[in-house]
Amino acid sequence: MKINLVYNKFIPEYKKTLEHIKSILIKKSVEFDIYELEKMQGSGDITFVIGGDGTLLRAARFYSKYEIPVMGINLGRLGFLAQTGVNDFEQIIDSVLKNEYKIENREMLLSGEYIALNDFVIKGCNPSRTSKFYLEINGKTVCDYIADGLIIATPTGSTAYGLSAGGPVLHPELSAIVIVPICPHTLNVRPLVIPANETVTVKSADRLLSVAIDGYDITKSVDAISISLAPQKAKLAFVENNNFYSVLRDKLNWGVSPSSV
């Protein structure tokens, strides 16, 4: 087995963590390559990503082209996707070498050359005011929104920005797209969950849109954006005891009474 180690040089403590992981792999005679996030290469059997969820998102999108699974070593804050801790790495690598881990295929969204594992966030180009957005699905008008923006998310992304904006939590293995308005200027607008094979198009009344992928700005001043299911899936690797519902409880205090938090 050949392992990739991908690190984010802007994450504090990455050097110390990288050296610790290297020492374990050398001790176990495991072949590995090391790549900075901006210089990843499409080889290897599995990729360990050192950083937070944002680092993992970028690596997962890249390695989806090569069908190589990725597993996160969390150095960030929440670690919803990058769940493995540094202190657990030796146990984790033993499980990986014994093939005692699972791979989850996560759906992604596509718009032109851009691909998202979490979401596309669409706003007007003037961040100081609300905008009017027109929503179409499969070329047919659905509704208009006066809001700060729209989030078009995957089930994986439903626990990210979409959740903060009041959207539903979807199990990551569902095949669906979530549409969540950001701060809508009305009381009768609700998030919408649609089948994954639909095509979502968003236009703006002032014909200017600002678009971000997985938290990173990609383009501004576009007339419209169409988003559909990507042909490839991200492959996220987890140890066998990973459970989506336990992660909701541990990371987001889901189902925990206020008195016990």
The SS3 assignment for 131 reads strand
For residues 200 and 142, membership in a common domain is answered with yes
Rounded-to-integer distance, Cα 164 and Cα 148, Å: 14
- DSSP lists the bridge partners of residue 121 as 151, 212
Q: What is the DSSP letter of 118?
A: S
Note down the domain range covering 123. 109-229
For residues 175 and 203, membership in a common domain is answered with yes
For residues 14 and 118, membership in a common domain is answered with no
Rounded-to-integer distance, Cα 76 and Cα 53, Å: 7
Rounded-to-integer distance, Cα 192 and Cα 22, Å: 45
For the chain, the C-alpha Rg in angstroms (whole number) is 19
For residues 164 and 247, membership in a common domain is answered with no
For residues 54 and 129, membership in a common domain is answered with no
For residues 149 and 184, membership in a common domain is answered with yes
pLDDT tens, position by position, for the chain (261 residues)?
999 999 998 888 889 999 999 999 999 999 999 999 999 999 999 999 998 888 999 999 999 999 999 999 888 666 677 767 788 889 999 999 999 899 999 999 999 999 999 999 999 887 778 899 999 999 999 999 999 999 999 999 999 999 999 999 999 999 999 999 999 998 888 999 999 999 999 998 877 888 999 988 776 677 899 999 999 999 999 886 667 887 788 777 777 666 655
Contacts of 255 (CB under 8 A, 6+ apart): 248, 249
Q: How many domains does the chain have?
A: 2
CATH of residue 135? 2.60.200.30
For residues 191 and 133, membership in a common domain is answered with yes
For residues 90 and 127, membership in a common domain is answered with no
For residues 162 and 216, membership in a common domain is answered with yes
Rounded-to-integer distance, Cα 59 and Cα 53, Å: 10
Which residue bears the tokens 């596509």?
A: 110
For residues 145 and 241, membership in a common domain is answered with no
Rounded-to-integer distance, Cα 6 and Cα 236, Å: 14
**Cα angle for residues 258, 154, 221 (degrees, 5° grid):** 110
Burial 123-140 (b: 16+ CB within 10 A, else e): bbeeeeebbebebbbeee
Helix (H) or strand (E) holding 212: strand 209-213
For residues 120 and 222, membership in a common domain is answered with yes
For residues 174 and 215, membership in a common domain is answered with yes
Catalytic-labelled residue, pool 53, 119, 148, 214 = 53
Q: Annotated catalytic, 94?
A: no
Rounded-to-integer distance, Cα 225 and Cα 238, Å: 33
